[in-house]
């Protein structure tokens, strides 16, 4: 019988509670730029005009429970994780910070590819009504300059996902993250996500036969993630709890 998938969830800042971790692959949806964060509430400030000339009632938006990343934050993150990541480094980001991630990874002698578009149809509607909605994020991927990774194989040049209900703000679809985990890791690898939020990457890793370790600094998100992985399923993809949970070995640490 195969070994159960394993997840080690840690509550706290990644700088503190993941200091002992070395991983096979790092897959993270880290905070985006100040521009993206400031645009989060743009629809509340103005709203768009209805056909009759009245402004739409602005829809209230949740506060983002974490700070944006700056160029310095990106460098600090890469400086810490590049030496501790044996394989692929995969980060989802916005158009503002994508060049910063690429520069930082190159400075640590990683081979960095052109950013991959991640298109999530129907996401991030522009409530101000003054132009196109933003349905795309960017995936920056980098690999070590070693023969093993030179021979890894051809990978997709883009990812497309449908918009779906997320367990926490800013989460990504489970099917999308399963595809990324399959593409950039091998069965049994240890995947790390230092900013796991609702832990979609963790669940994807476990379902794909990988091990997982990650950190989340928000206690509410951590509890959502812990319960979610214990159940082993994610609405709305599955309507009933699946038997996957019976195969999972879920441990938690409150470091």
Q: Please give the full DSSP string across 137-175, using - where no structure is assigned.
A: EEEEEEE-SSHHHHTS----S-EEEE----SSTT---HH
Tokens standing for residue 44? 């509340």
What is the number of domains present in the chain? 1
Rounded Cα gap, residues 207 and 232, in angstroms:
8
174 in a structural domain = yes
Average pLDDT over all residues of the chain: 81
**What 3-state DSSP class applies to 36?**
helix
Quick one: pLDDT at residue 123? 65
Phi/psi-derived region of residue 171, left when phi > 0, alpha when psi is between -120 and 50, beta in every other case: beta
Quick one: pLDDT at residue 19? 97
111 in a structural domain = yes
Residue-wise pLDDT for 22-35, tens only, equals 999 999 999 999 88
Structural domain harbouring 94: 5-39+64-236
198: domain CATH number is 3.40.50.150
Quick one: pLDDT at residue 130? 73
Residue 202, C-beta contacts closer than 8 angstroms, at least 6 positions apart? 7, 9, 191, 193, 196, 212, 214, 225, 229
Residue-wise pLDDT for 39-82, tens only, equals 655 544 444 433 334 444 444 445 666 788 999 999 999 999 99
Beta bridge partners of 249: 6
28 in a structural domain = yes
Of 9, 12, 5, the closest CA to residue 252 belongs to: 9
Phi/psi-derived region of residue 129, left when phi > 0, alpha when psi is between -120 and 50, beta in every other case: left
Of 2, 31, 8, the closest CA to residue 190 belongs to: 8
- In the predicted structure, residue 169 carries a pLDDT above the cut 70: no
207 in a structural domain = yes
252 in a structural domain = no
Q: Are 207 and 5 in contact (CB under 8 A)?
A: yes
State pTM to two decimals.
0.80
251 in a structural domain = no
141 in a structural domain = yes
Confidence of residue 38 (pLDDT cuts 50, 70, 90): confident
Q: Are 87 and 149 in contact (CB under 8 A)?
A: yes
254 in a structural domain = no
Rounded Cα gap, residues 135 and 160, in angstroms:
10
């Amino acid at each position: 019988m195969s070994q159960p998938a394993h997840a080690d969830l840690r509550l706290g800042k990644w700088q503190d509670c993941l200091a002992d971790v070395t991983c096979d692959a790092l897959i993270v949806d880290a905070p985006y730029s100040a521009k993206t964060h400031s645009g989060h509430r743009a629809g509340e400030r103005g709203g768009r005009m209805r056909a009759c000339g009245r402004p739409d009632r602005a829809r209230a938006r949740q506060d983002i429970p974490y700070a944006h990343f700056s160029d310095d934050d990106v460098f600090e993150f890469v400086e810490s994780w590049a030496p501790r990541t044996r394989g692929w480094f995969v980060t989802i980001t916005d158009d503002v910070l994508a060049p910063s991630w690429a520069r930082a990874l190159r400075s640590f002698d990683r081979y960095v590819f052109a950013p991959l578009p991640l298109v999530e149809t129907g996401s991030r509607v522009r409530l101000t009504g003054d132009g196109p909605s933003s349905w795309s994020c960017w995936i920056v991927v980098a690999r070590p300059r070693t023969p093993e990774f030179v021979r890894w194989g051809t990978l997709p040049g883009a990812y497309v996902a449908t918009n779906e209900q997320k367990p926490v703000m800013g989460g990504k679809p489970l099917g999308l993250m399963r595809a990324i985990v399959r593409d950039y890791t091998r069965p049994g690898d240890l995947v790390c996500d230092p900013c796991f939020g609702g832990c979609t990457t963790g669940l994807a890793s476990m379902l794909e036969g990988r091990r997982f370790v990650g950190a989340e600094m928000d206690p509410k998100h951590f509890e959502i993630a812990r319960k979610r992985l214990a159940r082993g399923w994610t609405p709305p993809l599955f309507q009933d709890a699946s038997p996957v949970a019976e195969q999972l070995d879920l441990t938690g640490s409150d470091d």
